[in-house]
């Protein structure tokens, strides 16, 4: 009993409870949507969503991790900016700019194996960083709201990316980017041997590569920077109270720019990790559509409470749901139902942030009332005894 009390009294528990209740509400809404669209298959469809990535066996789990890789990075990107009190909706643009930088280096530069993909990833992080630096500058020196600035940067990035792909690395037959050189492809690190589904003797391997390891490593690094270094402390201080941190001698403008640049670099790195994956992996498409990874990064950061370690898990969770969505089509449902579920989860997790502050107070009030009642009944009893 005491153990349970200890756990439930912790702040982290309250926080997690908020996220979990939001997830449950999201799933219920998803089920209702399935019921409305086609009642006959709703139950099977819902089971598919719950089973998520497991539906595809070992390969399916690998795919969950493969698609979680960019989400971890865009989630970190949004999360770091959040901690500095800024809302980075621009992860989408930073992501594609990083991606296109990595692909251009991967196709056109010739270097030996490990150096090539490392250089490509660095290019991705730098270009993504520039895409975060610009709105950071605009915010710090011109007071431009970062939400508007990053959204504009998303569209500029999308069109610029299309332009660069068409000019430099274009596979015009498929309207996508060219394959990067084999030396620029991220090593598999044996992960394809683990996450595999056997169809008889045919091994159906997943496209997972060491990108996931780099992503998790980056999350741990960001955790270390935010929690254990002066830089992280300053970034968070600016997020808590801009004026107080200025008064304490911190350069608030510098921190805003730094935070946005780091955020951009993280999202850009995510772009690099996603598109350096060989012939069977993903390629940049020339379409006028914003990259969904950036927006899912917002969901990931909110669900993971902007905590780098939490973000690893929430990214895997979102990817798990999305993979479940791809199997939904066997029941004639559109995979967009997953996006609806995610939107509902975010909507309710915004409440959860508030509920989290109210719940402990409510609990305290209830306890006080209980104590009052006990006291009152004791008085009554003692009065009764006298009579």
Binding-residue pattern over the window 184 to 223 for other proteins, x denoting contact by CB under 8 A = ----------------------------------------
How large is the angle between the packed helices 292-303 and 252-275, nearest 10 degrees? 120
Whose Cβ is closer to other proteins: residue 313's or residue 351's? 351
- The answer to whether the CB of 77 falls within 8 A of the CB of 146 is no
- The answer to whether the CB of 188 falls within 8 A of the CB of 62 is no
Token reading at 158: 């999308």
176 sits in which H/E element: strand 176-177
Q: What SS3 state is found at 202?
A: strand
Give least dist CB 18 to other proteins, A: 11
Nearest to 124 by CA among 188, 73, 62: 73
Q: Of residues 212, 302, 312, 315, which one binds other proteins by CB under 8 A? A: 302
Residue 152 touching other proteins (CB under 8 A): yes
Q: Which stretch binds other proteins (CB under 8 A): 119-127, 156-164, 224-232, 367-375?
A: 156-164
CA–CA distances in Å: residue 325 to residues 181, 296, 317, 321, 348? 32, 15, 13, 6, 21
Residue 145 touching other proteins (CB under 8 A): yes
Q: What SS3 state is found at 307?
A: coil
Q: Which stretch binds other proteins (CB under 8 A): 180-188, 220-228, 244-252, 343-351?
A: 343-351
Residue 130 touching other proteins (CB under 8 A): no
Whose Cβ is closer to other proteins: residue 204's or residue 339's? 339
Longest dimension (CA), the chain: 99
Residue 104 touching other proteins (CB under 8 A): no
Where in 230-269 is the site for other proteins (CB under 8 A)? none
Whose Cβ is closer to other proteins: residue 142's or residue 202's? 142
Whose Cβ is closer to other proteins: residue 91's or residue 216's? 91
- The answer to whether the CB of 323 falls within 8 A of the CB of 63 is yes
Whose Cβ is closer to other proteins: residue 155's or residue 224's? 155
Give the whole-angstrom CA distance, residue 351 versus residue 341.
16
Q: Of residues 23, 298, 312, 318, which one binds other proteins by CB under 8 A? A: 298
Binding-residue pattern over the window 27 to 66 for other proteins, x denoting contact by CB under 8 A = ------x---xx----------------------------
User: Rg for the chain (alpha carbons), in Å?
Assistant: 24
Q: Of residues 67, 95, 295, 317, which one binds other proteins by CB under 8 A? A: 295
Give the whole-angstrom CA distance, residue 328 versus residue 332.
7
Whose Cβ is closer to other proteins: residue 29's or residue 73's? 29
Give least dist CB 166 to other proteins, A: 8
Total residues contacting other proteins by CB under 8 A comes to 46
CA atoms in the 13 A half-sphere facing the CB of 264: 28
Which of the 8 DSSP states describes residue 104?
Answer: H
Residue 177 touching other proteins (CB under 8 A): no
Residue 143 touching other proteins (CB under 8 A): yes
Token reading at 177: 């980017």
CA–CA distances in Å: residue 182 to residues 123, 217, 277? 17, 23, 9
Give least dist CB 159 to other proteins, A: 5
User: Which segments within 237-313 are labelled E, that is strand?
Assistant: none
CA–CA distances in Å: residue 237 to residues 222, 226, 298? 16, 11, 21
Residue 346 touching other proteins (CB under 8 A): yes
Cα torsion 367, 370, 374, 377 to 10°: value is 160
- The answer to whether the CB of 94 falls within 8 A of the CB of 326 is no
Whose Cβ is closer to other proteins: residue 25's or residue 273's? 25
Residue 149 touching other proteins (CB under 8 A): yes
Residue 288 touching other proteins (CB under 8 A): yes
Residue 110 touching other proteins (CB under 8 A): no
Write out the residues near other proteins by the rule CB under 8 A: 33, 37-38, 87, 89, 134, 138, 142-145, 147-149, 151-156, 159-160, 162-163, 166, 288-289, 295, 298-299, 302, 334, 336-337, 339-340, 342-344, 346-347, 349-351, 353-354
């Amino acid at each position: 009993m005491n153990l349970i009390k200890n756990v439930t009294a912790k702040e982290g528990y309250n926080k997690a409870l908020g996220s979990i209740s939001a997830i449950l509400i999201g799933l219920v809404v998803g089920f209702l949507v399935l019921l409305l669209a086609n009642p006959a298959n709703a139950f099977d469809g819902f089971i598919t969503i719950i089973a998520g990535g497991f539906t595809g066996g070992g390969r399916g789990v690998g795919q969950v991790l493969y698609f979680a890789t960019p989400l971890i990075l865009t989630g970190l990107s949004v999360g770091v900016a959040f901690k500095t009190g800024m809302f980075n909706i621009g992860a989408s643009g930073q992501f594609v700019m990083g991606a296109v930088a990595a692909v251009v280096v991967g196709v056109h530069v010739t270097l030996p194996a490990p150096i090539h993909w490392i250089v490509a990833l660095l290019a991705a992080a730098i270009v993504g960083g520039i895409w975060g630096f610009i709105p950071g500058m605009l915010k710090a020196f011109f007071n431009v709201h970062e939400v508007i600035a990053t959204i504009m940067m998303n569209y500029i990035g999308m069109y610029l990316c299309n332009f660069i792909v068409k000019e430099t690395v274009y596979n015009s037959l498929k309207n996508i980017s060219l394959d990067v050189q084999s030396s620029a492809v991220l090593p598999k690190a044996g992960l394809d041997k683990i996450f595999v589904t056997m169809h008889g003797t045919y091994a159906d391997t997943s496209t997972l590569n060491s990108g996931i390891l780099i992503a998790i490593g980056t999350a741990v690094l960001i955790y270390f920077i935010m929690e254990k270094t002066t830089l992280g402390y300053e970034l968070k201080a600016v997020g808590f109270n801009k004026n107080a941190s200025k008064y304490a001698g911190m350069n608030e403008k510098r921190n805003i720019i730094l935070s946005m640049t780091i955020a951009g670099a993280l999202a850009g790195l995510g772009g690099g990790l996603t598109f350096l994956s060989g012939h069977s992996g993903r390629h940049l498409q020339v379409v006028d559509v914003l990259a969904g990874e950036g927006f899912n990064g917002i969901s990931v950061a909110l669900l993971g409470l902007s905590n780098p370690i939490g973000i690893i898990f929430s990214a895997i969770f979102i990817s798990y749901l999305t993979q479940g969505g791809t199997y939904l089509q066997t029941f004639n449902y559109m995979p967009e139902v997953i996006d609806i579920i995610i939107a509902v989860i975010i909507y309710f997790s915004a409440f959860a942030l508030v509920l989290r502050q109210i719940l402990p107070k409510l609990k305290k009030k209830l306890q006080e009332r209980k104590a009052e009642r006990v006291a009152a009944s004791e008085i009554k009893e003692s009065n009764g005894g006298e009579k």
